[in-house]
Amino acid sequence: MTINDPLNDATLNGWLLTPASNLVSFIAEEMKIAALVEQSIMTMVGLPNILAAAAHQIPQDNAKARANMRKLIDHSHVNSGFAEQEQKTDFQRIRSHQAVAVWAAVETSIEHLLVNLIRRLPDAEALILAHTPNVKLKPDRMRASVQGAKSAIQRWEPLLPATETMERQVAMLGALQLSVSLAEGNSRTLSEMAGLRDVILHNAGIFDERFRERCPWRTEVVGAHVTFDRSSMLRYYEAAHDFALALMRAVIESPYMRSAG
């Protein structure tokens, strides 16, 4: 298939690979950041006591060192209140931020890739129409700008028959010949992340009826607060990591990869 590539990317396959490769590294970095933040908070909780014990080891005649240690202890007391609160809630604020960030990275990578494909493939409209015949598109507009391509995606997604968010995302990629295969259960887990993201950002972290409709397998009642334990966060990270690798494989195996020769 001949690819219309009007933007003349400096890297041969950069337009196709970059969203997927960025996602892999982002998820790995977010996992490290979350672990480091939790460890730092746990250290902050015990720091005043550690510093107080250390202060007793400073000789009485070293007034400057004792004064500096006093300042450190005072500062650590200020921080330890916040740290204790975070630890008591089992790091809910941190985990909420991480869940939102990881889903945003997944969603953004998919959108960027779809936009790139729609703008560059001369038969993008035909591929979309073959998958969803009743979608209304304006080919010239959707290839002329990023906004045009985003508009095409927004018109397309709601018409797909799948009820789960991730199923629709994977279906759109598949229609444009990127076949993403996820481990069992991970599509639903990522759809759940999408629903939780909306609850956290748009409903103050309180489950609503819309979430129950989107994720009927969840058992929380409407009005309950979102909470994350360590095992659920690991499940979300694993599902996102699985998708990141599956997306890379789909890109590499797609008919759009080109060689220098």
Burial of 260 (0-12, 13-18, 19+ CB in 10 A): exposed
Question: Is the dihedral angle over the CA atoms 172, 181, 24, 240 positive or is it negative?
Answer: positive
- Which residues lie closer than 8 Å to 85 by C-beta, 6 or more apart? none
Q: Supply the pTM of this predicted model.
A: 0.83
Instruction: Give the per-residue pLDDT at 3.
Output: 42
Instruction: Give the per-residue pLDDT at 52.
Output: 82
In whole angstroms, how far apart are CA 54 and each of 37, 44, 68, 69, 73? 24, 15, 12, 9, 10
Percent of the chain's residues with pLDDT above 70: 95
CB 16 within 8 A of CB 113: yes
Candidates 130, 218, 135; CA nearest to 174 is 130
Instruction: Give the per-residue pLDDT at 84.
Output: 82
Instruction: Give the per-residue pLDDT at 260.
Output: 67
Low-confidence ranges of the chain (pLDDT < 50): 1-8
- Which residues lie closer than 8 Å to 165 by C-beta, 6 or more apart? 190, 191, 194, 195, 214
Angstrom distance (rounded) from CA 214 to CA 207: 11
Angstrom distance (rounded) from CA 21 to CA 19: 6
Candidates 259, 239, 254; CA nearest to 175 is 254
Instruction: Give the per-residue pLDDT at 4.
Output: 44
Candidates 37, 183, 147, 165; CA nearest to 106 is 165
Instruction: Give the per-residue pLDDT at 244.
Output: 96
pLDDT tens per residue, range 182-221 = 999 999 999 999 999 999 999 999 999 999 999 999 999 9
